[in-house]
Amino acid sequence: MAAGVLLGAGVSLWVTQFAAALLHGIEPRDRVTLFGAALTLAIVGVFAGWLPASCAARLDPAAVLRES
Task: Give me the pLDDT at residue 52, please.
Answer: 92
Mean pLDDT rounded to a whole number for the chain? 86
The pLDDT assigned to 22 comes to 81
Which SS3 state, helix, strand or coil, does residue 44 take? Answer: helix
The full set of domain ranges for the chain reads: 2-67
- Does residue 29 surpass a pLDDT of 90? no
How far is 66 from 25, CA to CA, in rounded Å?
A: 59
Which pTM value belongs to this model? 0.64
DSSP tag of 29: T
